[in-house]
Structure 1
Amino acid sequence: MSNSDMTAEWRPSARPLNRKDLKTLVLSSLGGTLEFYDFVIYALYVDLIVAPLFFPDSLSPFTKELFAWGIFAAGYLIRPVGGIIMAHFGDKVGRKQMFTLSVAMMALPTFIIGILPTYSSIGMLAPILLLLMRMLQGAAIGGEMPGAWVFIAEHTPKQRYGFGVGTLTSGITGGILLGFLITIVIDMFFSRGEVLDFAWRIPFIIGGIFGVISVYLRRFLSETPIFKELAARKALEKSIPVVSVIKNHKMACLLVALVTWSLSTTIMVGVLITPGKILGGMYHVQPIDCRVAGCVVALMLTVGCILFGWLEDKIGTTVNMMIAWGGLAVTSLYFYASLTPDMSLSMLYFNYGLFGLFTGAIATTPIVGTRAFPPSIRYSGLSFSYNLAYAVFSAITPTLTLYLLNPNHILGEYFYMGAGIYISFVAILAALVGFWPLAKFGWRAKEA
C-alpha cells in the first residue's frame, strides 16, 4: 500500500478560526495579490505597448497582435515545468519554502521587463528577451497558484475550507484589480506619448518591488499542520510524486483539467481580453473607461470568489457550482449581447460588474481540485494537472477568441457574441462537473 492510501483525510479537523488562521489567510492572500499583479500587468499593456514597441513596423497590425499575445501565452506554456519542479520539492521538503521561492522568482523578471530596451534600440533581441522574462514569470506562477491553494487548504478548518480557499483566490485575483488601478493612474498623469516613451515601465518596476515585499511577508508564515504530520509519521511520498500522480490519479487530473479550462477561459477572455480588445477595439470605449470597467469586473470577481467560497461551506459543491457557473453562463451571454457603441457608461459598468460577480465561480476550481488528491502528493497532483491544462487552454484561447470575434468566420453576423458563447460553454461544463462524486467529496483513503 502506498503512502497515498495510508494518509488521513485531505483537510484539517473542524475547529473555530483563530487569530493564527486569519494571519495566515491575510498574508497568503496579500502575497498572492502582489505576485499575480506582476503576471497580469503584461496583459493590460499588450495592445498599447508590446505590439507597437517590441515588433517591427513592417508587420501588419494583426500579426503584431498575434505575436504579442503569443508572448503572453508563452508564460502559460512554461507553467507546467516550474509547477512540477516546485511541487516536487513542496511534497518532499515542505510547502512553505516553495511558497516563498515562487514570489522571489517572479520579482526579478518583472523588474527586468521594466528596464528592457525596445525594438528600436536592440532589434529582434527585444521580443526575444521579453519572451524569456515571460517564461520565467510563468515558471514562477506555476508553483505559486497551486502552492497557495494547498497551503491554505491545509491550514483552514474543514468547516471553513471553502471560505478559506475562496478568500485566498480573491486575494490572488485582487492582483488584477491592482493592475488596472496602476494603469489608470499612469493614464491620468501621463500623455499617450509619455506612456509609450517611458511611463509604461513604471508598473513593471513597481511590480518587482512588490515581489520583494511578498518574499518578506511570507517569512512570517508557518509550515502547514498536515505536512508536519506527514513528516512526523514518515508518510511523505517515497517515489517521485508526479509519477504517482500520473499512475494512480488520472481521474483527479481529468477533473482538475476540466475546471481549469473553465477558469482560464473566464479570466483570460472575460477579464483580461474584454476591456482592451472588445470594449476598446470593437465598441470604441475610451481607454480610461475601459480600465475603469476592468476595475469594476476585477473588484466584483474578488467579491464573487469570497461569496462562492462561503456558499461552498453552506450549501455544498453541486448546488454551489450550479449557481456560480450557471449564473456565469447566463450573465456572460447577457453582457456581451448588451454591448453597443452608444451604450451608457453606467449601464456598461453595471452589466460588467454583474458578470464579474459570477466570474467568482472560478473559486470552485481550487476548492474541488485541491481536495481531489491525497495529502502526500497533493501539491504535485494539483500543480501538474492545473498547470498542464492551463498551458494547453491558454495557448489556444487568445487565437480562438480572435477567431470567434471575426465576422468572416464561423459565427458570421453573431461574431459580437463570440466571447460570451465561449465563456458560457466552459461555464456549463464546470457546472456539470459539480455532479462528479470526486468533485463533491474529494479524495478519501481506501478502506481496509
Structure 2
Amino acid sequence: MSKSDTFAATEVDEPTVRKAVGAAAMGNLVEWFDYGIYSYVVAYITLNLIPGGDTENAGPFFALAIFAVAYLVRPFGGIILGPLGDRIGRKKVLALTIIVMSGASFLIGLLPTYAMVGIAAPIMLILLRIVQGFATGGEYGGAAAFIAEYAPDKRRGFYCSFLELGTTGGFVLAAGMVTLLQVSLSEADMNSWGWRVPFLIAGPLGLVGLYLRSKLEDTPAFLALEEKAQVSESPLKDVLTKHWRPILVCVGLVLFYNVAVYTILFYMPTYLESTTGLEPTPALLYILGMMLLIMIVIIPVGALSDRIGRKPLILGSCIGFIVLSYPAFLMLDSGTALGTVGGLVVLGLLLVLLLGTMSATLPALFDTDVRYGGFSIGYNISTSVFGGTAPAILALLVAGTGNNASPGIYVAVASLISLGAVLLVKESAGQPLPGSGASLIREKVG
C-alpha cells in the first residue's frame, strides 16, 4: 500500500479552488513585479545609486551584480521558511513572505541617491536586496505547493499554470508601468524620481496579496496531516536525510528552467539595448509583446499537460533550447525588427512550455510532509547558482567574447546539462500528490 493510500480522498468546491489559485497567483505576481521592476529600471538604478554610475565603465554590470546578490541568500530563505511551512502551515509563511517582499521593494523606492549619502546608498540597496532574496526563498515553493494541494488531480496542470500566469503578469505589469512612465515623463524626471514610482506601488500591491491570502484556510493536504498528527517535527532533517534524491532532480530541472527565465525575461531588455542599440522604450515594448503572447498561451499549455502529460512538454522545451537558442540569438543580433520579433517568438514559445508545466511538476516530487521545504531548498539552490547570476554572466560573456549570440550558447549548455533530470522525472499528470489522497472537485447537487 502506498503512502498516499493512507489518506482518504478529499473533495473541494470549485469556487474554493479558484480563490486559492487567485490568492497564490496574486502573491506570485507581486513577487515578480518586484523583481521585474529592478531589471527594467536598472539603468536608472545605476545612475542614481551606484558609484560611477554615470560612466561607461560602470555600466549596468554593477547594478546587475547587486541584482544577483539577492540570490545568494535565497537558499537560506528556502532552508528556513520552507520547512517552517511544512511545520506550521503554508498559509502563515506565505503571508510573511509577501509582506516582507513588498515592504523591501517599497523601501528601495525611498532610497537616497549616491550623490546624497555616498557609499551608504549601494549598501542599503544591497541590504534590501538580501531581505528580498530571503523572503523570496519561501515564496515560490509555498505558492506552488498551495495551488497543487488545492487542485484536483485531473486538472492540476491547468490550475497550477495560473501561478506562472501571475509570474508573467508581474513582469507585464512592471514592464508596462516603466514603459508608461518613460513615455509620459521627460528623461530628467525619469532619472530623478520616475524610476521610484513602481517600487512605491509594490507596497499597496503586497497588502492586496496579503488580504487575499488571509481569507483562505490552509490546504486540505496539510490539514489532513495535522488531523492525523503526522506533521513532521523536524521537516528539514527529514527532507535532507530521506528525500535528497528528489531534491537533486528538482535542482536539475530548475537549472535550465531558471537560466531560460532569467535570460529571456530579466536580461533581455539590457541585451536589446546594449547589442542592438534599441532605446529603452522600444526594447521594453518588444519584451512586453513577447510576455503578452506567453500569457495567452500559458493556460492552454497547462491544460494540455493534464491530457498528454508534463514530461513530453518539458522534454520538448529542453531539446528545443539545445537546438534553437543560438539561432534565436543570431536573429536578435541582426538588429532588424523581423529578426528581433522572430528571436523573441522562438524563445518565448520554448519558455512557455516550461512555465505551463513546472509549477505542477515540481511539487509532485515530494511527499506532503516535506513538500514546502524540499521544493524550496532544491528550487532556490538551483536558482541561486544558475538563475540570479545569469544576467551578470551573460553581460560578461557578450563583453568578453565579442559574440552577441553567446547567450544562446549559455542557454543551450544549461539545457543539455538538465536533460538527464528531465529524463529521470516521473510523469505525475492525473495522479495524486505523494503523501496525499486523491483530490477531487465536489460535484454540484441539484
Identify whether the pair has TM-score above 0.5, normalized to the shorter chain.
yes
Partner Cα distance (1:10, 1:436) in 2: 26
Q: Deviations over 1:136-180 (max 9, x none)?
A: 111111111001000001000111111222221221221011110
Q: Structure 2 matches for 1:29-428, cutoff 5 A?
A: 29-46=25-42, 48-57=43-52, 61-238=56-233, 240-276=234-270, 278-340=271-333, 342-344=335-337, 348-363=340-355, 364-394=357-387, 396-406=389-399, 408-409=400-401, 415-428=403-416
| Deviation for aligned residue 1:45 | 1.4
- Count of aligned positions: 433
Structure 1 position 8 matched with structure 2 position 4:
yes
| Deviation for aligned residue 1:38 | 1.4
Q: Deviations over 1:259-291 (max 9, x none)?
A: 111122112111111122x21111011221101
Structure 1 residues not aligned, in runs of 5+: none
Partner Cα distance (2:12, 2:342) in 1: 37
Partner Cα distance (1:275, 1:17) in 2: 42
Partner Cα distance (2:323, 2:11) in 1: 37
Any idea what SS the aligned residue of 1:285 has?
coil
Partner Cα distance (1:101, 1:94) in 2: 12
Partner Cα distance (2:86, 2:237) in 1: 13
Query: 396, 404, 421: which one pairs with 1:433?
Result: 421
| Deviation for aligned residue 1:444 | 5.1
Backbone CA RMSD of aligned residues: 2.6
Residue type matched to 1:319 in 2?
P
| Deviation for aligned residue 1:108 | 1.3
| Deviation for aligned residue 1:6 | 7.9
Partner Cα distance (2:7, 2:324) in 1: 33
Taking a change above 3 Å as real, the CA distance of residues 439 and 421 of structure 1, as seen in their structure-2 partners, is farther
Partner Cα distance (2:273, 2:345) in 1: 17
Structure 2 residues not aligned, in runs of 5+: 436-446
Q: Name whichever of 306-315 and 120-129 sits farther off.
A: 306-315
Any idea what SS the aligned residue of 2:409 has?
helix
| Deviation for aligned residue 1:318 | 2.7
Q: TM-score, normalised by structure 2?
A: 0.89
On the 8 A contact 2:25/2:162 being kept in 1, the answer is: yes
Q: Deviations over 1:78-97 (max 9, x none)?
A: 11222222222211111111
Q: Name whichever of 72-81 and 114-123 sits farther off.
A: 72-81
| Deviation for aligned residue 1:247 | 1.1
Share of identical aligned residues, percent? 27
Taking a change above 3 Å as real, the CA distance of residues 193 and 368 of structure 1, as seen in their structure-2 partners, is same
| Deviation for aligned residue 1:348 | 2.7
